Amino acid sequence: MAEQIRLLVVEDVPQVASHMRSLLQAQAQIKMLEVVTSGERALSAVGEFRPDVLIVDALLQGRVSGRQVAEQVRRADPMVSIIMLTVPQNPVTEDPAHGVDSVLRMPFSGFDLTTLVRRTHEQRGSEGARAGSVMVTLFSPKGGVGRTTLAYNLAVALGREHTVCLIDGSMQFSDLRGLLRVPAAVPSIVNLPTDRIRDSDVAEVVWKDPSGIDILLAPPRVEMAEMVTVRDIEKALSIIRQIYEFVIVDTRAGLTDDVLAFLDASDLILQVLAYDSMAIRSLAMAGEAFMAIGYPPTKLATVLNRSDSAGGMSKADVEEVLGQPVDFEVVSDGRLVLAANNEGVPFVLASPDEPISKGVRAIADKLAARLRDRAPAMAGP
């Protein structure tokens, strides 16, 4: 089912508001939450109803004009899409910086109204979701290759100079909760609102890790994973990407709908593997699926973990099977990793001069450069 768009209208002419309501009655995708009849009440109503889209009459009467409402809402909640309603005699120009994402001119039909609401919502969401952030998902179709440990340490390495949110994408078994021994009572993605999410909601739910990063945990119990829908994931990502410079996701093995939601939203997918014939074969199969989905090659990079434990194989062998280069290598250090994991601390901070830590920081440096340059593609080292 398509997402339902939550619409709030600021309109002081009853006939216009009634016309909108009648036009929207015949469809289910747009839900008209309320009609606010004065500009003075608009900002508080946005906070109360949490709309996806706001329609504001440019000709509002009273102390707060339609333009002022648009500017106030844009400053208070940049995620809300704003449509300015006007008449031909009072031309209005699109100006997203000041809260005018689109313009609806009277008279308008139901098709005009619904089409503009949908398009404005989609455009604002697409632009806002990626603004000022880089989202990286670590993926492996086979467990046991060190994906969760790498995700945690990569997030911590980036967190020394950037704001970072690490997301536990293992919805059933909450791998990060287990790695860090976080109590079951600590909130998870399940505790975020099911309608519209705000910055304050995220701040109340994330786990403040001692390393300095924030972590959005998976549910504490297996059966609770069913409570998290793909739409919940998409809504959480839309606001998290507005708050943090980096969003790092640790997924679980498999290409289920929830994992694909993270992969689709990512700027970069770090494919993690080791010198393990089954892991290599599985990743090659996943690569075929990614090609069928339509992911461009620039969206994918490969991390060879435990790269000094070849087991009779070579990097060239791996690249031949995968049909793509290995972009990053991280050496093994079983004793250090085991000790760090048992203590629930990141090895990049506990032992920063060890080769394994330097390998993780090399990946972090590449990602930091991507953030600085806003490059459309990421090259290997």
Q: Which tokens go with 61?
A: 């009467």
**Structure confidence by residue, pLDDT tens digits, 332-356:** 998 999 999 888 899 999 999 999 9
Residue 313, exposed/middle/buried by CB under 10 A (0-12, 13-18, 19+)?
A: middle
Q: Which tokens go with 370?
A: 């991507």
- State the helix-helix crossing angle for 277-293 and 315-322, rounded to 10 degrees: 30
Contact 6, 33 (CB under 8 A): yes
103 vs 239 pLDDT, higher one: 103
Strands (E), the chain: 5-10, 30-36, 53-57, 81-86, 102-105, 134-139, 164-168, 207-208, 214-216, 246-250, 268-273, 300-305, 328-330
Q: What is the mean pLDDT of residues 183-195?
A: 91
- Categorize the per-residue pLDDT at 281 as very low, low, confident or very high, splitting at 50, 70 and 90: very high
Report whether pLDDT(372) > 80: yes
Q: Which residues contact 65 (CB under 8 A, 6 or more apart)?
A: 39, 58
Domain 133-373 CATH assignment equals 3.30.930.10: no
Rounded distance, CA 170 to CA 218, Å? 6
Q: What is the rounded radius of gyration, in angstroms, for the C-alpha atoms of the chain?
A: 24
**Best CA proximity match to 35, nearest among 73, 9, 70, 62:** 9
Q: What is the mean pLDDT of residues 257-286?
A: 94
Q: Which residues contact 348 (CB under 8 A, 6 or more apart)?
A: 153, 156, 157, 357, 360, 361
Give the mean pLDDT of the chain: 91
- Categorize the per-residue pLDDT at 377 as very low, low, confident or very high, splitting at 50, 70 and 90: very low
Q: Do domains 5-128 and 133-373 have the same CATH topology?
A: yes
Q: What is the mean pLDDT of residues 202-212?
A: 95
Strand ranges of the sheet holding 164-168, from the earlier edge strand across to the other edge: 207-208, 214-216, 164-168, 246-250, 134-139, 268-273, 300-305, 328-330
pLDDT of residue 352: 96
Rounded distance, CA 108 to CA 24, Å? 12
Q: What is the mean pLDDT of residues 182-201?
A: 88
Rounded distance, CA 8 to CA 45, Å? 8
pTM: 0.74
Domain ranges of the chain: 5-128, 133-373
pLDDT of residue 197: 80
| Amino acid identity for residue 325 in this structure | P
**Structure confidence by residue, pLDDT tens digits, 131-154:** 568 999 999 999 999 999 999 999
CA 310 to chain centre: 35
**Structure confidence by residue, pLDDT tens digits, 31-46:** 999 999 999 999 999 9
- Categorize the per-residue pLDDT at 188 as very low, low, confident or very high, splitting at 50, 70 and 90: very high
Report whether pLDDT(203) > 90: yes
Q: What is the CATH number of domain 5-128?
A: 3.40.50.2300
Helix (H, G, I), strand (E, B) or coil at 271: strand
pLDDT of residue 310: 80
CA distances to 29, 140, 273, 322 from 363, in Å: 42, 17, 15, 20
Pick left, alpha or beta for residue 215 (phi over 0 → left; psi -120 to 50 → alpha; otherwise beta). Answer: beta
pLDDT of residue 132: 66
pLDDT of residue 326: 96
Q: Which tokens go with 252?
A: 């679980």
